Amino acid sequence: MTTKEEKVEGWIPRTKLGKMISEGNISSIEEIFSEGFKIREPEIVDALLPELQEEVININLVQKQTDAGEKSQFKAIVVVGNRDGYVGLGSGKAQQVRTAIQKGAADARLNITLVRRGCGSWECGCGRHHSLPFQVQGKCGGVQVVLIPGPRGLGVVASEEAKIILDLAGVKDCWTRSYGSTRTIPSFACAVFNALRKTYSFVTPKDWVG
Ligand SMILES: [Zn+2]
């Protein structure tokens, strides 16, 4: 039998939560959310969600003012998810694209959130978890996004970036509406993520599991 620690190559847990996982005292991501633990090591997410997938949704060159003058850095926006109710969005900056992506992927893991799914479409009523339970909206940096539950078989009616996020979250059928500076991809992605987070803001923590 392999321990959780062996699942993530070279991981030496640095936090109390990380040690609890490597010692087998916590064996599911549900426990982390139901207990309200804060994830401070990206490896925790890999240990508990080994099927996690990641996608880079945007890379930008950003200028930063330093004492030595202007410095160019790449900024990567990365989304991770298990296509079954867990999704995270993160960003990372570095002088090399590859490092920016790695930082963004680690940040996305630390931001992983639980998405409540359901059949909130009045046209459907199948009761399965293929969409969202109700309409949610999210805001970020001048962008507002509304996610509207859709009937089974609809698919995700959204821009490419929103499709990637919703797909990795496990939301199969929904409509989206967006307002504001929606061409600003980092803000747009963040607004979609904030909307997904709201699927759990109307319930108490003890409802999170099961
Ligand atoms: Zn349905």
Residue the block writes with tokens 């079954």:
84
Low-confidence residues of the chain: pLDDT under 50: 1-5, 210
CA of 154 to the centre of ligand 1 (A): 10
CA of 190 to the centre of ligand 1 (A): 26
pLDDT for 6 equals 53
pLDDT for 106 equals 98
pLDDT for 201 equals 74
* Per-residue DSSP letter, 196: H
* DSSP-based three-state secondary structure for 7: helix
CA of 193 to the centre of ligand 1 (A): 22
Query: CA dihedral in degrees (76, 81, 83, 86; nearest 10)?
Result: -140
> DSSP assignment of 15-52, as one string?
SHHHHHHHTTS---HHHHHHHTPPP--HHHHHHH-TT-
The pTM is what? 0.90
Spatial CA neighbour of 205 closest among 1, 29, 34, 87: 34
pLDDT for 2 equals 46
CA of 83 to the centre of ligand 1 (A): 17
Percent of the chain that is helix, strand, coil (3-state, to 5): 30, 30, 40
CA of 122 to the centre of ligand 1 (A): 8
Longest pairwise C-alpha distance within the chain: 61
Neighbours of ion ligand 1 (CB under 5 A): 119, 124, 126, 152
Spatial CA neighbour of 208 closest among 90, 1, 199, 77: 199
Residue the block writes with tokens 């890999």:
46
Burial of 178 (0-12, 13-18, 19+ CB in 10 A): buried
CA of 117 to the centre of ligand 1 (A): 10
CA of 173 to the centre of ligand 1 (A): 9
CA of 98 to the centre of ligand 1 (A): 40
- The structure tokens listed for 77 are 């926006």
pLDDT for 43 equals 95
pLDDT for 1 equals 40
pLDDT for 170 equals 98
